[in-house]
Chain A
Amino acid sequence: MMRLPPFKYLPSRSVADAVKYMSDHGSDAMLVAGGTDLYPNLKRRQFEPKVLVGLRGVRELAGVRPADGGLTIGAGTTLTRVATHPDVRRDYPALATAAGLVSSPQLRNMGTIGGNVCVDTRCNYYNQSHAWRKAIGFCMKKDGDICLVAPGSPRCWAVSSSDTAPVLWSLGASVRLVGPDGERVIPISALYRDDGIEYLGKRRDEVLTDIVLPPADGWKSAYLKLRRRGSFDFPVLGVAVAVRLDGDVVRDARIALGAVASTPRESTEAARLLVGERLTIDVITRVADRAAAPSKPLDNTDFTHPYRKKMTRVFVGRALRQIAGLPESGGSSEEIA
């Protein structure tokens, strides 16, 4: 079987421990919580840390608690817990859905929401064994200096592959980061950068401790995921839609797209078109057409990239129909009116 490389494991008992270990060991260290993505990546030598700083023993990181009318979710809360938590299911149904669609039941029992938010970007030239990557010629994300998807490109195009990230973005969530200089809370949109290598706007020695959800009043949300199979697979398109309704009129809306770039992408223009409108089939169709614009997939995941682009429109339409309580397809505006 594939073997893990040698590394030193430092279990943390507190966030402060973890921060200290991370600053002590600098770029030699990585954080590990559930390890469901990290350990396979170690076996393929995508990661070669000398030190792993374990977060599983940090009790303060796990749990869902009400805060300021919203919810705070500890980064160490398992995806299973997030998916089944009654408050999450009631107020942020898209988040429960997204957490419940990550990988398989066993991995959701181990994997944490913090791990999913920070999950490494993916590319089918990169998520391969060391021998395979050596055979094709290493890429810039690990061991090489060119991008094999876009050989002329100065940057890496690995794909943001988190299910929860676009949902949290659409919900206007923030994250709490604790580092050697104290803590800071930033909007989740500031956590991501459009670069396959430096995809997180978080310092190496900062620990993601909490996800902070604003009050859910009036917001409805939905998440749809494109993948080949109903389990295991990472998203190759994730569409998160949140809409705040006043009666049946849209007062505010956010549409975030996952897995079509190195960061979640927001369809701000399309969302703006919704404001002041009722969610009719006509409106939804018009918005969906516009929403696909920021979707810029390349040929480095499952399915063809034109297909993923094409599905962005269909999935945005369906997510909005879900929120509006309309059938996922078919029907006409006359029928609904």
Chain B
Amino acid sequence: MTNEAFSVIGQPLPKIDAWGKVTGETRYADDLFLPRMAYAKLLRSQHPHARITRIDTTRAKALPGVFAVITGHDLPPVKFGILPVSQDEDALCRDKVRMVGDAVAAVAAIDEETAERACELIEVGYEPLRPLMSIEESLAHPEVRIHEYGDGPNVHKMVALQFGDVDAAFASSHLVREDVFFFEGNTHLPMEQHAAVAHATADGKLTLWSSTQTPHYVHRLLTKILDMPGPHIRVIATPVGGGFGGKLDPFAHEIAACRLSQLCGRPVKIALTREEVFYVHRGRHPVLMWLKTGFTRDGDITASHIRTWLDGGAYGSYGVASTFYTGVINPVTYKMPVYKFEGARIFTNKPPCGPKRGHGTPQPRFALECQLDKAAEQLGLDPADMRRRIVAEPFTKTANHLTITTIGLRECFDRVVEACGWRDKRAQFPRDNARPNAPAKKKGIGIAGSAYMTGAGTAIYWNSMPHSGVIVRADRSGGVAVLCGATDIGQGSDSILAYLVAEVLGIDPKDIRVHAADTDLTPVDLGSYSSRVTLMCGVAAIQAAGKLRQAIFDAVAKKLEVGADALAARDRKVGVADDWEKAVTFAQAAELGEAMHGVLAFAGSYAPPKRAGKYKGGGVGPSPCYSYSASAVEVTVDEETGEVHLDDIWIAHDVGRALNPLLVEGQVEGSVYMGIGEALMEGQIFRKGLHKQPSMLDYKSPTTLETPEIHTTLVETDDPEGPFGAKEAGQGPLLPVIPAIANAIYHAVGVRIDEVPISPEMVLKGLELKRQGKPARIGREKLPLMHWKDPLAVESAFGQPAEDVAVRPFGDAGPAGKK
């Protein structure tokens, strides 16, 4: 369908919450004030690893102004965790702390100052244990156990999968490369620090307002953690001031606020400090990678084998999923006939890692795209030409049984190659750089591609219910309410719901009120993660709005004495296209509808097509469709200081269809910006068991001054799985930026840096090696000794055709959102 056929879709409209955000009207969790509200603080561990020998809260309880003090013993003795397979957290540690920042007690008081003073009066006895601060240290000390469960001492999870005979394919390859890469961990750094208000009321019920990306999972876990019936708990997600994956777990502060409110009979607010946000973390895993890939003379990939070691931190969190994601998505971009993946997540005494924008995939993407560049050079191929040649085929399966639907990656490459002047610059820069007495600043340009999921194909807990639901309600006022469990974390999901429903009903998005993310009022949506919301809520919204439209059409048809099929809805009217004078207003149409059917309220449900590979582990990776991106980066590298200046970034993103191009470009630019930080400066660094720089000043994240002009091109492939053909845009565009920067640095100064973040020191070190005539490569060399388990051998599904458009549970067969 062309954009001309739409009235709302494809328009660069402002977000429906833009006015509130810009003027400060938006009420975030920390803006909530309830009468008699108390303020809470957590006492956190100052030891990276220790046994708790005693906790004495007597003095804290005696402090005037203190309403309640709790420890782990005031909560039901159950462990919890976001994934059913990793139930390893205590809201307040009872026996042991596993990192600096673990919560051990909580206080509610008349104000924050009093709560803080009371925390200082709590006496905790610790018996320090050896802290394990790296993958290598944790593996080298099996006698010290951070947790008692897992796939080995301090090994949380080990995965080994093989799809086809990689060894045979390597043996017949023209070129086989083996490279080691390291990707340092980093954090989400949302502007809004986590905050929550809990209110336990006299009727024994509980309401929690929280800056969470997933009210449904928080609701589900609270019933377990607080040992309360689900119907008595209500979770409302407040507008989230940035999530990026950092607000996707149930957290100690939310649970403590709930329990404190129950004990003191007052609403309790808790707002984390920036330092605490660094401890809550759940961000990018540090990953050490070994990647072996075979190539033909022409640059086709013959086989790929990746090993990943993830530094998981102190708890499971989403780590099992993260481990899989370091291995399963690479085959979705380029043709890889056979594939092998071995991954292990290691516990360490650091804040737990989890899902951050791109969840588990930026690390192997960095490895693969840097390795492709090296291979292209060895094969004498242009790195852009080589990549576009090997792009995977649409509507086929990958070696690891993932189904690719549309794929616009080749067009993405073509668009950035053209836009950035690739061919001229690849030739010209080396000539300019080599001039005698040339300035120290050398220019280079690099490229990379990537893919990302549009929603996880399976839920976090096994079930056959919808992943997302929407209720659309209309009445005689002409107004339409949309109720959905999805959480707007700034990505614009509320706006998308309004646009889609407005498109179907022929009304203005302003006539729609979106009520979202309230477990009492809205149908369940699993949460804002894995780029699932636009697609899953979107399809459900179109379905619900379609039912409403049909009901209204039936009533208008009767009034106008025409067939319902003859009707159209546009410009806030319903009528027959070639007799538009007789069209009735939408409000009149709704009135007719109400008179005919009674209350106009219709539901839509969505669950992804069931396409998981039939093997253990096949549930992680499948997605209704994948988005694709290509990016080119032009850099200037200063050979005297090692500083890397980004001059321009070009990015093309296959978004299926841009429901609102303005919003999509915003998501793309935000992703690019985040990628820049990961490539050049951000790192969760630890020293003496502590986070080295838990502040916005010292944890270096780029400013606008470090962000170059970003030239965005949107590629539309009209995917049959997406709402009106749309795919994701919020995560994928981060991925190619990081390797493209590394590849551009190599083009500029001939130094290969196989590690991020890339610091000026590394660049200088590489240049020094180059001057000494040594291989100018900076990066890890050693790999930890690891006894990998035998891989689960599965036949490669590479190249098999995708099933005809899959039948979705709850869905109408056929493409989503076609009118």
- Which residues in A have some Cβ–Cβ distance to B below 8 Å? 1-3, 6, 124, 127-129, 131-132, 134-136, 228-233, 302-304, 306-307, 310-311, 314, 327-332, 335
Given contacts A132-B694, A135-B46, contact A231 B703 (CB under 8 A): yes
| B435-470 residues at the A interface, CB under 8 angstroms | 437-441
Residues of A within 8 A of B694 (CB): 128-129, 132
B89-120 interface mask toward A, CB cutoff 8 Å, 1 = contact, 0 = none? 00000000000100000000000110010000
A-B contact pairs, 12 of them (CB 8 A): A2-B273, A127-B697, A127-B698, A134-B46, A136-B688, A136-B690, A230-B705, A233-B697, A307-B761, A310-B764, A329-B441, A329-B639
Among B439, B690, B697, B761, point to the contact of A328 (Cβ < 8 A): B439
Chain A residues within an 8 Å CB radius of B87: none
Interface, chain B (partner A; CB < 8 A)? 44, 46-47, 100, 112-113, 116, 193, 271, 273, 275, 437-441, 638-642, 681, 688-690, 692-695, 697-698, 700, 702-703, 705-706, 759-761, 764
CB-contact partner of B116 in A3, A124, A134, A303, under 8 A: A3
- Rounded to whole angstroms, the CA-CA distance of A317 and B437 in the bound complex is 16
A131 touches B46 (CB 8 A): yes
CA distance A311 to B706 in the complex (A): 20
Contact between A314 and B275, CB atoms less than 8 A apart: no
Complex-state Cα separation, A228 to B693, whole angstroms = 14
Known contacts A124-B698, A302-B700; is-contact A132 B439 (Cβ 8 Å):
no
Question: CA of A129 to CA of B439 in the docked complex: distance in angstroms?
Answer: 44
Contacts of B438 in A (CB 8 A): 330
In the complex, besides A3-B116, A232-B703, 18 extra interface pairs with C-beta distance below 8 angstroms are A1-B193, A124-B693, A128-B695, A131-B44, A136-B690, A229-B703, A229-B705, A230-B705, A231-B705, A233-B700, A302-B698, A304-B761, A307-B761, A314-B641, A327-B439, A328-B439, A329-B440, A330-B437
Among A131, A311, A332, chain B packs the most CB atoms within 10 A around the CB of A131
Task: Return chain B residues, CB-CB under 8 Å to A231.
Answer: 703, 705
Contacts of B193 in A (CB 8 A): 1
Q: Shortest beta-carbon distance, B676 to chain A, in Å?
A: 11
A335 in complex: contacting residue of B100, B437, B759, CB < 8 Å: B437
Nearest A-chain residue to B760, judged by Cβ: A307
Bound state CA distance, A328 and B643, in angstroms?
14
Q: Select from chain A the residue with minimum beta-carbon distance to B116.
A: A3
Using known A-B contacts A302-B700, A327-B439, A329-B440, determine if residue A1 contacts B690 with beta carbons closer than 8 Å: no
Q: Shortest Cβ distance from A29 into chain B, in angstroms?
A: 22
Look across to chain A and name the residue whose beta carbon is closest to the beta carbon of B435: A330
Q: Which residues of A contact B700 (CB under 8 A)?
A: 228-229, 233, 302
Task: List, in ascending order, chain B residues with CB within 8 A of A314's CB.
Answer: 640-641
- Nearest residue in B to A129 (C-beta to C-beta)? B275
State the Cβ distance, A7 to closest chain B Cβ, in Å: 12
Chain A residues closer than 8 Å to B695, beta-carbon distance:
127-128
Q: What's the least CB distance linking A8 to chain B, in Å?
A: 16
Tell me the bound Cα distance from A330 to B44 in angstroms.
53
Q: List the 9 closest pairs (A to B, CB-CB), nearest first.
A: A230-B705, A135-B46, A329-B440, A330-B439, A228-B700, A307-B761, A314-B640, A329-B439, A231-B703
Are B706 and A230 in touch, CB under 8 angstroms? yes
Are the C-beta atoms of B698 and A135 separated by less than 8 Å?
Answer: no
Residue of A nearest to B114 (CB): A3
When the two chains form the complex, which single residue of A129, A131, A232, A330 contacts B440, counting CB atoms closer than 8 Å? A330
Cβ-closest chain A residue relative to B681: A228
Closest-by-CB residue of A relative to B273 is A2
Chain B's closest residue to A331 (CB) is B437
Give B272's nearest chain A residue, CB to CB: A1
| A128 partner residues in chain B, CB cutoff 8 A | 694-695
The answer to whether B112 touches A3 (Cβ under 8 A) is yes
Given contact pairs A230-B705, A329-B439, A331-B437, A1 touches B271 in the complex (Cβ within 8 A) = yes
Chain A minimum-CB-distance residue to B759: A303
Kindly state the separation between the CA atoms of A43 and B759 in the bound complex, as whole angstroms: 31
Query: Chain B contacts of A129 at CB under 8 A?
Result: 273, 275, 694
Find chain A residues with CB under 8 A from B698 CB: 124, 127, 302
Are B703 and A230 in contact, CB atoms less than 8 angstroms apart?
A: yes
Q: Complex: how many Å from CA A329 to CA B440?
A: 6
CA distance A42 to B44 in the complex (A): 21
Residues of A within 8 A of B688 (CB): 136
By the criterion CB–CB under 8 Å, are A229 and B100 in contact?
Answer: no
Q: B471 CB to closest chain A CB, in angstroms? A: 37
Q: Given A229-B705, A302-B698, do A135 and B100 touch, yes or no (CB 8 Å)?
A: yes
Question: Nearest Cβ distance between residue A149 and chain B, in whole angstroms?
Answer: 11
Residues on A with beta carbons closer than 8 Å to the beta carbon of B44: 131
The docked-state distance in angstroms from the alpha carbon of A268 to that of B563 is 95
Bound-state CA distance A224–B706 (Å) is 18
A124 touching B437, Cβ below 8 Å: no
Complex CA distance for A306 and B761, rounded to whole angstroms: 9
Distance of A124 Cα from B698 Cα, bound (Å): 8
B30 nearest CB neighbor, chain A only: A1
Residue from A124, A127, A135, A232 within 8 A of B47 (CB atoms): A135
Q: Are A311 and B705 in contact (CB under 8 A)?
A: no
Chain B residues with CB under 8 Å of A330's CB are: 437-440
A230 to B706, CA, bound (A): 7
Nearest Cβ in chain B — how far from A318, in angstroms? Answer: 8
**Are B690 and A132 in touch, CB under 8 angstroms?**
yes
With A129-B275, A132-B275, A135-B690 already in contact, the answer to whether A232 and B697 are too (CB < 8 A) is yes
With the chains together, A2 CA to B276 CA distance in Å? Answer: 10
A136–B702 Cα distance when bound, in Å, is: 28
Determine the chain B residues whose CB is within 8 A of the CB of A335 once the complex forms: 437
Q: Is the CB of B640 within 8 A of A3?
A: no
Chain A residue with the shortest CB-CB distance to B692: A124
Q: CB-CB < 8 A to A328: which residues of B?
A: 439-440
Q: How far is the CA of A292 from the CA of B437 in the complex (A)?
A: 24
A1 touches B706 (CB 8 A): no
List the A residue with the shortest CB-CB distance to B694: A132
Residue of A nearest to B702 (CB): A229
Q: Measured between C-beta atoms, what is the minimum distance from B137 to chain A in Å?
A: 19
* CB-based nearest A residue for B700: A228
A100 to chain B, nearest CB (A): 13
Residue of A nearest to B113 (CB): A3
* Distance, CA A129 to CA B119, complexed state (A): 15
CA distance A331 to B688 in the complex (A): 46
- Bound-state CA distance A132–B101 (Å) is 9
Chain A nearest CB from B656 CB (Å) reads 36
Contacts of A6 in B (CB 8 A): 113
| Cα-based distance from A231 to B700 in the complex (angstroms) | 11
Interchain CA distance A33-B271 in the complex, whole Å: 29
Q: By the criterion CB–CB under 8 Å, are A307 and B441 in contact?
A: no
Q: Which chain B residue lies CB-closest to A229?
A: B703
Return the chain A residue nearest B275 by Cβ: A129
Which residue among B112, B441, B698, B705 has the maximum number of chain A CB atoms within 10 Å of its CB? B698
Distance, CA A140 to CA B66, complexed state (A) = 33
A12 to chain B, nearest CB (A): 27
CA of A1 to CA of B116, assembled, Å: 11
Chain B residues positioned under 8 Å from A229 (CB to CB): 681, 700, 702-703, 705-706
B contact residues around A332 at 8 Å (CB): 437
* A6 to B112 CA separation, bound complex (whole angstroms): 13
Q: State A230–B700 Cα separation when bound (angstroms).
A: 11
Chain A residues with CB under 8 A of B116: 3
A6 to B117, CA, bound (A): 12
Cα of A1 to Cα of B210 in the assembled complex, Å: 16
| Chain B residues within 8 Å of A233, by CB | 697, 700
B640: chain A residues at CB < 8 Å are 314, 329
Complex-state Cα separation, A328 to B100, whole angstroms: 46
List A contacts of B702 (CB < 8 A): 229
CB neighbours of B271 from chain A (8 A): 1
Neighbouring A residues of B689 by C-beta, 8 Å: 135-136
User: How long is the Cα–Cα vector from A311 to B700 in the complex, in angstroms?
Assistant: 20
- The answer on a CB contact under 8 Å between A311 and B641 is yes
Beta-carbon nearest neighbor of B441 in chain A: A329
- Alpha-carbon gap, A116 to B412, bound state (A): 49
Bound state CA distance, A306 and B702, in angstroms?
23
Shortest distance between the CB of B495 and any CB in chain A (Å): 30
B720 to chain A, nearest CB (A): 44
